[in-house]
Copies of this chain bind each other. A is one copy, B any other.
């Protein structure tokens, strides 16, 4: 049916590529491109014999001209940006120049500000509309599926959604006292940044890790979770009419936080170089070298993730609550595609988002966040491609007394 140019060859790209190949009716041809072509070739070799035709290419995603030349050569129907979010804008520029659809899984951030905001990408709205092409922003799990869940809840179950809590739980255990799934710098930034949530039209800041709850997740059990800022809060606050509050919670284990804090305290997470044996060394870079390679965690991680949204609002004048979530097993993911659930839950929705555009199920010109499309076909595909969802119409709420009391008990 179509051809995709996939930029990136890391964990998420690897999952998405495995899934594209499983869905070869839609993805007749893919080209895998990244800065390091050998990584693309490795992925191609793993999928040798697939129905989908696979080619590879070298590209510097920071260079618009190189990107345009590659797109002109490959002639894809869509560019799937699965590289770092620093390259979103250059790839969007190349898509505009070549009138090619675009999608990504994380919004643009300038490399030096560490500020997640949609404004840079939203500025492309008019240009994409005029060019007659689609840019689908944030088609991972969170952002991504969480937006689809929100659109689905609104379409089928609510006249008005007043409260959304997004709950992201990773109950995985890699057996190391301490290791990080992704770049430790990003993990550290998440934990040490101020929290933020949206209420009554305003952003409310919290201290880092200030708001904590102990929540009992289906198929995982009780976990400590903390209120963080996460990028989908920005678009959902705008796209869900009548919303009074939206928050995001992520689980972190006490041991993980203790290790991170200790490393921060002694200066091992600093990005200021120090002089060591006549060389300038950045402590965080050295720490990364000492920690287990994130890629080595996959085969040894057991347990499950549970990510979903709890909605509260009104239907036919009555109060209503609705919780929809996906549970994903680290080991099952690893057996299927060679990556654990953290990459899997992002890579599968990336494939589905691109499929929505290639199949014409999502077909409108402009720049859109995922909740602005019809959620139904996407929800169907989630069940089909390994991320089945569960509905609960009587969930325990984050602010229920039982949840708050539990937290107080543990603190005492």
Residues of A within 8 A of B (CB): 177-178, 258-259, 262-263, 265-268, 270, 274-277, 279, 281, 283, 286-287, 289-291
Q: How many angstroms from the CA of A291 to the CA of B178 in the assembled complex? A: 20
Known contacts: A258-B258, A258-B262, A262-B258. The answer to whether A286 contacts B276 by CB under 8 A is: yes
Shortest Cβ distance from residue A382 to the other chain B in the assembled complex, whole angstroms: 37
Contact of A289 among B262, B263, B276, B291 (CB under 8 A): B276
A291 CA to B286 CA, complexed, in Å: 14
Ranked 9 nearest A-B pairs via Cβ? A262-B262, A177-B265, A259-B262, A267-B290, A276-B289, A178-B266, A178-B265, A283-B290, A286-B286
Which of A178, A268, A274, A279 has the most chain B CB atoms closer than 10 A to its own CB? A268
- For residue A132, give the distance in angstroms from its CB to the closest CB of chain B: 48
Query: A263–B291 Cα gap in the complex (Å)?
Result: 11
| Given known A286-B286, A290-B283, contact A266–B259 (CB-CB < 8 A) | yes
Contacts of A281 in B (CB 8 A): 276-277, 286
CA separation between A291 and B258, bound complex, in Å?
Answer: 18
Are B274 and A265 touching (Cβ within 8 A)?
no
- A290–B268 touching, CB < 8 Å: yes
Partner of A259, one of B177, B265, B290: B265
| A264: min CB distance to chain B, Å | 9
Q: Are A274 and B259 touching (Cβ within 8 A)?
A: no
In Å, the complex CA distance between A266 and B262 comes to: 11
Nearest chain B CB to A178 CB, angstrom units: 5
Specify which chain B residues have a CB less than 8 angstroms from the CB of A277 in the assembled complex.
279, 281
Q: How far is the CB of A173 from chain B (nearest CB, A)?
A: 15
In the complex, the answer to whether B274 meets A178 with C-beta atoms within 8 Å is: no
CB closest chain-B residue, reference A262: B262
CB-based contact B266/A177 at 8 Å: yes
Name the CB-closest residue of B to A278: B279
C-alpha spacing A5/B283, complex, angstroms: 42
Other 19 A-B pairs with CB < 8 A, given A266-B290, A266-B291, A277-B279: A177-B265, A178-B262, A178-B266, A258-B262, A259-B262, A262-B262, A262-B263, A263-B266, A263-B268, A267-B290, A267-B291, A268-B290, A270-B290, A274-B289, A275-B289, A276-B281, A276-B289, A277-B281, A281-B286
Q: Is the CB of A266 within 8 A of B287?
A: yes
Chain B residues with CB under 8 Å of A268's CB are: 263, 268, 287, 290
A207 to chain B, nearest CB (A): 17
Q: A219 to chain B: closest CB distance in Å?
A: 28
Interchain CA distance A274-B318 in the complex, whole Å: 63
Between A and B, 14 residue pairs with Cβ closer than 8 Å are A177-B266, A178-B265, A258-B262, A259-B266, A262-B263, A263-B268, A266-B290, A267-B290, A267-B291, A268-B290, A270-B290, A275-B289, A283-B286, A286-B286
